[in-house]
Structure 1
Amino acid sequence: ILGKQVRVVASSEDRNFTYIPRDIDLNEDAAYLHITSNNTIRGTQWKNFPSSGSIPLVSDMSSDIMGRTLDMAPFGLIYAGAQKNLGPSGVTLVIIRRDMLERVPEHLPTMLKYTTFAAKNSMFNTPPCFAIYVFQLVMKWLEETIGGLAKMEKLNEEKADLIYRYLDGSDFYWGTTEREDRSIMNVTFRLQDESLAGTFITEALANGLGGLKGHRSVGGCRASLYNATSLEAVQALVSFMAEFESKYG
């Protein structure tokens, strides 16, 4: 990108991206190490972030920001689209160390430089006012109604655990990711009899449970448990899964 070399230093492709790789072959002269904290398609999530030493750690946290507590110390840069946990699309949250701003190349286009927005307090151009306002309302809800980020994390873990425990006790469904790397935001699973997947999606929708079709690139099923998803909704899903298993299993 822009004349620089991009190198993949870790991958779980050998097992169809079902786990988080632990071995990272990082060059000492690397400009930064980039990770995606939560894989919405595969249903994996970093629990312990990699140590990159003096090399800045950069992360796309679009799908799990504000879904759990975080130690910001290891990161040089975090960026996250708002559309999962923060508010409507059109807003991006950026958390960047000041020393990282000093490394921004001058030759980059104006709108691609974080220094542009840092210098103008994010007001370089006309902001998406309504999206920012909704962002504020979501943060207020998170603090005042939920009780803060630690409680949000606990609730998200409880939601995910309900489904994972059911999957682990079932011979009808199976989870697609390694247990230690399971996401609390996106639970991916399949039916042992793949021919029933379409029926499962259709009957779930008829019972008020939508959005369960897996990503088009991998198929299967996926339950997305972003902050706005209630515990009651997850309980309803697990009840439906049990009823469906009883009916077709």
Structure 2
Amino acid sequence: MGSSSSALNFGAGPAKLPKEVLSEVQSELLCYQNCGMSIMEMSHRGKEYDKINNDAQKTIRELLKVPDNYRVLFMQGGGLGGFAAIAMNLINRTGSADYAVTGTWSAAAAKEAAKYGTVNLVFPKADKPGAIPNESAWTRNPDASYLYYCDNETVDGVEFHTVPQTHPDVPLVADMSSSIMTKKVDVSKFGCIFGGAQKNIGPAGVVFVIIREDLLGKPMKICPAIMDFTNINKANSVHNTPATFSVYVMEKVLQWIKKMGGVEGMEKQSEEKSKLLYDAINNSDGFYTSPIDKEVQSRINIPFRIGRPNGNEELEKKFLDEAEKQYMYQLKGHRSVGGIRASLYNAVSLADVKSLVELMQRFKKENDK
């Protein structure tokens, strides 16, 4: 195995973190800012953590230009916890919600929400994976409590490149776990944006929620206090002991994004990285293939197959073995879809992707018989 400095991590999450952030965390691990103890040992109600918590919220607001009538919350429970929290906080208005199911995670979210109200799928399951039906074919319910979609499907490799339309009285809810801070977002178009931090903005353990203030105060009676957005907001995300270390690291990653040109800088780099990899796939004379419709191909999670006509598992295993010899890790596709998947989150550099493309070109030359 290569050293930590030479390993290239293309994992889907928990994902690569900026080396500068990890170095800073390492330097403060035993003693945070001359306090004589680690941040992991400090009270979540102390002044040190209070500043970290507020700075993280402030930086999210700054980077995404969050309007004043929105609150930024931190909770635990991961994306799956978020699926339940969204429904328990928002479905109560009419008892039903619209869901656009475009892949694994939106399907899981819809299944979870069905425990708490009526779920209307705005389109039937797609005929083939890797596609999103045109919005003109969606059947929306004007009385829905909200319209939910997953902005980028981590497993399936599809991404919304435009924001779906919704009825003026139906708030739009988006899971942006894997796309947050990779592109500019007009927060004012949404009722709520949420996601796990462990892909683009931090380590596992913390979920961010950006919610419009008028949507607070209407949770279901069964909603646990720990998932009640109104409760979390009143307590400034410290109702219970939060994942203090995760929020601490996330705040540093947010500062790193700011230093690297903000969301605009991340978006530019994301376009460059994904174009480089898609060009390598598309210019391989069919040796590498993307199963995703071109207009909805993700910039962030890029699944592909190796070998004609629709992938050769033996060749794919050989490629993964070769990749590990070059210290490139976590390129195996999700167990439900197979193949290869490269996740190009914010901390994955253009140089990392160039190294992967060089391996792909060399591998094709040696194995395309």
TM range (shorter): over 0.9
For 2:122, which of 1, 6, 9 is the aligned residue? 9
Structural mapping, 1:1-249, within 5 Å:
1-11=114-124, 13-16=126-129, 18-22=130-134, 23-53=137-167, 54-144=169-259, 146-171=260-285, 172-193=287-308, 194=312, 195-249=314-368
Higher helix share: 2
Contact 2:219–2:228 (CA<8 Å) still a contact in 1?
yes
Q: What SS is found at the alignment partner of 1:133?
A: helix
Task: Give distance in 1, aligned partners of 2:198 and 2:231.
Answer: 23
Structure with bigger gyration radius: 2
Consecutive unaligned residues of structure 2, counting only runs of 5 or more, are 1-113
Q: Distance in 1 between matches of 2:191 and 2:360?
A: 42
**Would you say the 8 A contact 1:213–1:222 is kept in 2?**
yes
Contact kept, 8 Å, 1:12 with 1:20, in 2: the verdict is no
SS of the residue 1:99 aligns to: helix
With CA pairs under 8 Å and 6+ residues apart, which has the higher RCO, 1 or 2? 2
Structure 1 residue 28: deviation in Å? 1.4
| Number of corresponding residues | 247
Q: Which runs of 5+ in 1 are unaligned?
A: none
The RMSD of aligned alpha carbons is: 1.3
Q: Deviations over 1:130-189 (max 9, x none)?
A: 111111110111111x11110110001100000101111112111111111111111111
Normalising by structure 1, we get a TM-score of 0.95
- Displacement after TM superposition at 1:120 (Å): 0.8
- Measure, in 1, the Cα distance between the counterparts of 2:176 and 2:116: 26
Partners of 1:90 and 1:244 lie apart in 2 by 37
Counterparts of 1:232 and 1:9, CA distance in 2 = 40
Determine what percentage of the aligned residue pairs are the same residue: 40
**1 CA distance for matches of 2:223 and 2:255?**
36
Structure 1 residue 13: deviation in Å? Answer: 2.3
